[in-house]
Structure 1
């Protein structure tokens, strides 16, 4: 009986922010997977270990959570004034599906370090010591991200004393600037608020009518008030992820919100667009104990936010959703701004299940419409393993 040999593909396993993923240079992928399509999706599914009816991704590199079922493909940028093109694939755990509809803000922190270390950045743009500025084209959503990557003795500095709630160990700080983060391709005509409103009455059959801010910034996100759906905003993962009925309600809110945002035409299409939009619920500050046992005082934060990702409550906060939070918090009249006290602001610190996070955003009205020039946050990144991944040669 003939057996198909495994092939090996150069890859790096990296942590970026509170996520992990498998990073590839486009040129290192098998030829059939160097272009979008079924072969690329099949390869990445096999690398990660999906679809897995057991929900564990034992036979792949995935970690069986939305934060660890991720892939990244990078190449030298063909766009003027950019260094690297960054394509993100969110791999479903239990179905044969790779979602290319959005960015991963957390893994964005690892893009610059990987690109520098793997020869994708022109040498004259990388200082031996100091801060390298990497201009990233985020190909999923057509946006620019500027990464500030520390360099020491000609190499990316990965260790340091920057602490990020949701990550156990400290590392070097990587500052990210998400330029003009309102998504142009998504929703009605590319508006930051695709419905034209800062707050909408979102009707969800069987749940009711919810006050919702639906925004395209960082990633399409639907914000609702925690108390309107029976929560306090202090919940940790088990309170929601262990409740199948709660998960079904959130998915229903997501589907009806996606239709209102113009992302899909019918709620039945939501199952094929799992990565976007996100659903998050907000509340005014309150004390709670984070998932690590760390006490968070009400005075430590401006508001509380909990967000769903790929059908589960996220253990911390998606980086792209943090951009949406910072942007919405900067605009008076949104449910996010109201939860933060209702005042004008250029930065906000919010509480999430793993602790707190600060994000800045500068918003302004131009000709009656809200615009945001950039959102800023700090993350960290680290190489966990590098070499090759192996997959059966007939896997794609």
Structure 2
């Protein structure tokens, strides 16, 4: 039987924040994959190396973690006052699907640099030196992100001395503004607090009734108290990711929280919605040692947060979950705010498994509902490799 050669597709492999993924210009994808649907999903899964029953993604570009099983499609934007459209696909590692239900806040930091380098911005908007303001339409959730990309001698500046816990080497800082980040998820009505409450009693079979703050900001997130589920908030990945009982508990919490938030109609739908919502647990500050061996002192942070991503404890913190943390911390009465000591605040520094992160948010009460005008944080990004990614012919 004659064998066909592999397909070559222009692509760029980039790190953004504490994640990395394969970036494409929409126009470079095969015609059938330029539209949403089965052909696009099949292509991206094959690029990443999924589904892989071995859970390694050896035959693809993925790294077999939630932070490295990611794809991004960028195109010029047809929307007023925006430069590019950004579509994010979280590729399942062991199952045959791509989750399009949310954004990746970490890779958001790489969108602006990629768009500039790929020639997707009008030249008039890109200074030779200084800061390029890239107006990004996040197509998954229908929100605006503003990236401040440093430029030097007409090119994106990637090197620098900005340090980000969870990333080994320093790089150039890319500040991000998430405008009106309350997630406009279908079924959630666009409300920041879809249940109407800052704290709910969430009944979880086999676990009990937990106090929970369920928020749509950055990404739909369910916050619970660490102590209520038997943790301290200082845990690193090994304490949870090797515990099958713990992972099952978190997935049960996630399923019942998603149902209460209106993100799913039936519990069994959660199996094909791995990316959203997230589950996180919070605690008051105490001393601990980060995964790098770096000590984190209680006095250095306002609270501790650990978050689950695609069934595992994240090695640092998802960027979108950081937006949810910053937003919830700004609203007195939420579990996040309580863990941070209560009161009004516009920024918070929290401890995560890899260290600390500061995020800001501006929230206010209008007509009886909480709104957030924007959330801010800094990340870094750089190109790891560029050229072509190759995949066998599909169908």
State the distance in 1 between where 2:215 and 2:307 align: 14
- Partner of residue 356, structure 2: 356
- SS of the residue corresponding to residue 67 of structure 1 reads coil
Once the 2 structures are TM-superposed, how far is the Cα of residue 184 of structure 1 from its aligned partner? Answer: 2.1
Query: Cα deviation per residue 1:99-121 (whole Å; 9 max; x = unaligned)?
Result: 00000000000000000000000
* 1:213-232 → structure 2 map (5 Å cutoff): 213-232=213-232
Query: Cα deviation per residue 1:372-396 (whole Å; 9 max; x = unaligned)?
Result: 0000000000000000000001x25
Query: Cα deviation per residue 1:182-220 (whole Å; 9 max; x = unaligned)?
Result: 012344321100000000000001100000000000000
Verify: 1:327 aligned to 2:322, yes or no: no
* 1:377-396 → structure 2 map (5 Å cutoff): 377-393=377-393, 395=394
* 1:151-230 → structure 2 map (5 Å cutoff): 151-230=151-230
- SS of the residue corresponding to residue 106 of structure 2 reads coil
- SS of the residue corresponding to residue 66 of structure 1 reads coil
* 1:23-62 → structure 2 map (5 Å cutoff): 23-62=23-62
Query: Cα deviation per residue 1:258-316 (whole Å; 9 max; x = unaligned)?
Result: 00000001111100111000000000001100000000000010000000000000000
State the distance in 2 between where 1:13 and 1:112 align: 14
What's the TM-score, normalizing by structure 1? 0.99
* Kept in 2: contact 1:285–1:298 (CA 8 A): yes
State the distance in 2 between where 1:323 and 1:186 align: 19
State the distance in 2 between where 1:280 and 1:207 align: 15
Verify: 1:368 aligned to 2:375, yes or no: no
Q: Give unmatched runs, 5+ long, in structure 1.
A: none
State the distance in 1 between where 2:229 and 2:124 align: 53
- Partner of residue 138, structure 2: 138
State the distance in 2 between where 1:103 and 1:219 align: 7
State the distance in 1 between where 2:143 and 2:303 align: 28
- Partner of residue 309, structure 2: 309
State the distance in 2 between where 1:203 and 1:270 align: 17
Higher alpha-carbon deviation: 1-10 or 140-149: 1-10
Q: Give unmatched runs, 5+ long, in structure 2.
A: none
State the distance in 1 between where 2:185 and 2:20 align: 27
- Partner of residue 91, structure 1: 91
State the distance in 1 between where 2:182 and 2:48 align: 30
* Kept in 1: contact 2:306–2:352 (CA 8 A): yes
What's the TM-score, normalizing by structure 2? 0.99
* Kept in 1: contact 2:180–2:374 (CA 8 A): yes
Once the 2 structures are TM-superposed, how far is the Cα of residue 181 of structure 1 from its aligned partner? Answer: 0.2
- SS of the residue corresponding to residue 88 of structure 1 reads strand
- SS of the residue corresponding to residue 259 of structure 2 reads helix
Query: Cα deviation per residue 1:60-91 (whole Å; 9 max; x = unaligned)?
Result: 00001000000000000010000000000000
Count of residue pairs the alignment pairs up: 395
* Kept in 2: contact 1:186–1:216 (CA 8 A): no
- SS of the residue corresponding to residue 259 of structure 1 reads helix
* Kept in 1: contact 2:182–2:218 (CA 8 A): yes
- SS of the residue corresponding to residue 214 of structure 1 reads strand
State the distance in 2 between where 1:256 and 1:189 align: 18
* 1:102-121 → structure 2 map (5 Å cutoff): 102-121=102-121
- Partner of residue 337, structure 2: 337
- SS of the residue corresponding to residue 148 of structure 1 reads strand
Once the 2 structures are TM-superposed, how far is the Cα of residue 92 of structure 1 from its aligned partner? Answer: 0.4
- SS of the residue corresponding to residue 370 of structure 1 reads strand
Verify: 1:67 aligned to 2:67, yes or no: yes
- SS of the residue corresponding to residue 178 of structure 1 reads strand
* Kept in 1: contact 2:185–2:263 (CA 8 A): no
